[in-house]
Structure 1
Amino acid sequence: MASPRVLIGVLDQPGRERDVLAETIAKGEFAVVSAERAEDLPEEVVLIVAHARAVPSHEWPALTARRPALVVSDSRLDNDLLKAVDAGLVDYVIEPVRHGDILRRMIAKVIENRHLAEEHARDRERLAELNESLETHLAMLRLDQQAGGHIQRKMLPPRPQTLAGVTCDYWLAPSLYLSGDFLDFQRYDDDYSVFYFADVSGHGASSAFVTVLLKYLCNRWLTEWDGKSPEELPSRWLSDLNRELLDTGIGKHATLFVGVIDHEERRLHYSLGAQMPMPLLVAEGRVNMLEGEGMPVGLFPGVEYPNLNCALPQKFQLWLCSDGVLECLPGDTLDIRLKELERLVRDCESVAALREKLALGDVSNIEEDIVARHAPGHDELPDDLTIMTLSGFDDDDA
């Protein structure tokens, strides 16, 4: 079935010249209807070819407002040609009958451009609708993320808190609303307290879900522990968590440090899975990096994690930082940045002091009124950043 022909309107004074012009256009895909006034053309007309002599110059703006239009003339000296173009006509043709092929090609091009313009207009409308819908969905997602961040922060321990002479303080700033960093510090009984420091790969919702799983599992394992063999508890937790993460199949892994503090013996039993940077123990003005190494948790099956321990002096400070801190330290190499971190923790007595040394004093803390408005630090931090300190035993309140 042949495609319907495109209807072109010709505006000219009646007579032989108008008929010839109409016949010149009415070839191939075009059909032509002629009239002396634009009001007499049918609505189906998609383009008007107007002769300069048939339309007074003051009527050109009204004509172009109806439909796209071409103006034709038999003379280059016709002053109305430029007036017509200035009024909005898309182009003009001199001696249209003589240049019939050019005229038809110009008509086809104008119609094509008109169709493209209409498609672009429709696309802009659809894009505006999609943008509005996207903004709505982003607002809903933002509210969900804020609510999730609020719940995640409620799972964190009080800060600061002192258990049997050991004081725990920390600072946690997500790069987005939710964090892949997490920590906890709990008292088991008068003899032992347990803590862990985790950095889940990535950040955002999926990493935050893993921290929820970690909190649940560690609470359950702590209630199941009988208080015996504290030296084996950290490595057993890491092995169990490694298996749990692999079984979920979510493709997430974590670096972890798990410690049990023996308050009576003043000894730290610990195990670790690829902790970076390593915990730093500050005592008597010296900084020592804890020994040991272990595989990340949740990457490989059947991993065995080490059983490690060290004595805790009468007055000590143990620093743990997530790898986000490395982004805030000067230096071109990892070794230089780690040395700088050692220097800073030796000179700092609190988390707030280290934040100031790292030029993080203006990054929002974890206060609820600030977090409710925006993700703390997301404009300033390239990654989640967490700092945790454990200090004692000089203020023993056991």
Structure 2
Amino acid sequence: MKAPSDLIFFLGDKEPSIQGASNSLQLLIAQSTALQNIEAIRARCQDPLLQPLLVSADQLAIESDSQREYLKALAAEFLVIILLGPDQSHRVAEYFRLGVADVAFPHSSDKELAAILERVDSLADSRDQKRLYRRELEKTNQNLQESLHLLKQDQMAGLEVQKSLMPESPLKFGDYEISHSITPSLYLSGDFVGYNFVLGRYLLFYFADVSGHGSSSAFVTVLLRFMIGRVIRKHQVQKDYAALAQAPEGLVESINSQLLATGLGKHLTIVAGSLDTETRKLRYVIGAQQPAPILISDGQARFLPGKGKPAGIFEGATWVVEEVALPESFALVLLSDGVFDLLSDKEIVDKEKTLLKYLRTSSESLDKLKDALFIGDIEDPQDDISVLLLTRGM
């Protein structure tokens, strides 16, 4: 705190009454700088939070609401010490409630004045610390806002990259139509789908859900797109019908080893499949994906069999390829586990039953399927919600 000679004494419109003041108080007042009005004080005061302002209670009445509000504002700006008269001791609490730093009486002794200045000094230190903390907080908030702005820009750019890697939807080939929808919980999604018709006969598709959320999970979806795309291009260029007839054999094993090699600590659940459009033979692998693929035909819905570990956790893991003959007219639905959040049932078994009930009559198109699951009504989902629909003759 400033030395007593640096105290500011606010005179006001008339000379303050200091009759009966002790020698110590008289000396304190004499050493103070006297200024006529608050504007002059602001002009002279180097730091209002640290330089005390000594004010006579006679010059600063608190009889009305406006007067009390004025003192409250003044006390918030300055370290106000009120000089009370001998008959004003009953107003001490009221002045403190209005925020003054301290009060002094004309008969205050040297020891009492020293204690007052010590308390004011402590309050000045406290205000200075709060001001420093506020500045640091404002700077931190500014840096945080700038970082969030950059992150949002990065995520929006990442979203455009993800969109560019998504397949055309819907995609038609003869009597078959495949389409998808992804509703991300953040800008970027950890869900990813891919599908394309190869060599005029095989429909290859995959449906993956990467662990976690945000940029790191989205990066794995991009990596997954290139890993699988490289395998498909190789079969196309070599016209390897034999390998396509056995697809997706070995695919998840390859993804598993490459994910482990990245060291990202990410894993994914996946359904990868291959449909021979001439024989309607579907071969697929399930890697811990829930819910399981749903087949709808003749008004009935059922989960396809199969299970397996997630990819990216266990070295040397293998996955069993399931095989099923599809009917002439069918819908095959793949859903990410985010869809469970849309169902009111508590147990997973009950949620799965509800899914079958909803989808058995609402899977002719992607729009009807989304309406049945209320996906279109969700603005901020807790988890990514993804759908892939493959139909024939529906």
Q: Classify the secondary structure of the residue corresponding to 1:109.
A: helix
- Rounded to whole Å, the distance in 1 between the matches of 2:105 and 2:180 is 82
Amino acid at match of 1:266: R
Q: Within the alignment, does 1:71 sit opposite 2:85 as a pair?
A: no
Q: Map 1:1-398 onto structure 2 (within 5 A).
A: 9=7, 19-21=23-25, 34-35=31-32, 37-38=34-35, 46-47=51-52, 68-73=79-84, 75-76=86-87, 90-94=101-105, 96-98=107-109, 100-225=110-235, 226-230=240-244, 232-348=246-362, 349-363=364-378, 377=379, 379=380, 381-392=381-392, 394=393
Letter in 2 for 1:390: L
TM-score computed with the length of structure 1 as normaliser:
0.79
Rounded Cα–Cα distance in structure 2 between residues aligned with 1:125 and 1:171:
46
Question: Within 2, Cα distance between the matches of 1:241 and 1:151?
Answer: 21
What one-letter code is carried by the residue in structure 1 that aligns with 2:334?
Answer: L
Following the alignment from structure 1 to structure 2, what is the Cα–Cα distance between the partners of residues 302 and 102? 82
Q: CA deviation at 1:191?
A: 2.4
Tell me how far 1:94 sits from its aligned partner.
Answer: 3.2
Is residue 20–residue 106 contact of structure 2 (8 Å, CA) maintained in 1?
no
RMSD: 3.6
Give the letter aligned to residue 276 of structure 2: D
Alpha-carbon separation, structure 1, partners of 2:80 and 2:148: 44
Normalised by the size of structure 2, how large is the TM-score? Answer: 0.80
Q: Do the aligned partners of 2:170 and 2:179 also contact (CA within 8 Å) in 1?
A: yes
CA contact (8 A) 1:283 1:315 kept: yes
- Does the C-alpha gap of structure 1 residues 277 and 231 become closer, same or farther in structure 2, counting only changes over 3 Å? farther
1:367 aligns with none
SS of corresponding position for 1:146:
helix
Q: Residue in 1 aligned with 2:13? A: none
**Match of 1:391, as an amino acid?**
T
How big is the shift at 1:72? Answer: 3.6
Structure 2: give runs of 5+ residues left out of the alignment. Answer: 10-15, 62-66
Alpha-carbon displacement from aligned partner over 1:301-325 (angstroms, at most 9, x marks no partner): 0001102110011111111000011
Per-residue deviation, 1:178: 0.6
Identity, % of aligned pairs? 29
**In structure 2, do the counterparts of structure 1 residues 194 and 14 end up closer, same or farther at CA, with 3 Å as the change threshold?**
closer
CA deviation vs aligned residue, 1:241-265 (integer Å, no higher than 9, x gap): 0000011111111011111111222
Contact 1:72-1:96 within 8 A present in 2 as well = no
What is the SS of the residue equivalent to 2:377? coil
AA at the equivalent of 2:25: L
CA distance in 2, matches of 1:310, 1:185: 19
For structure 1, which runs of at least 5 residues remain unmatched after alignment?
Answer: 26-31, 364-376
Summarize deviations over 1:306-346 as a string: whole Å, max 9, x none: 02110011111111000011111221211111011011110
Higher RCO by CA contacts (8 Å cutoff, separation 6 or greater): 1
Count, aligned residues: 365
- C-alpha distance after superposition, 1:88-135 (max 9, x if no partner): 85442335434x444332322222212222332333233233323322
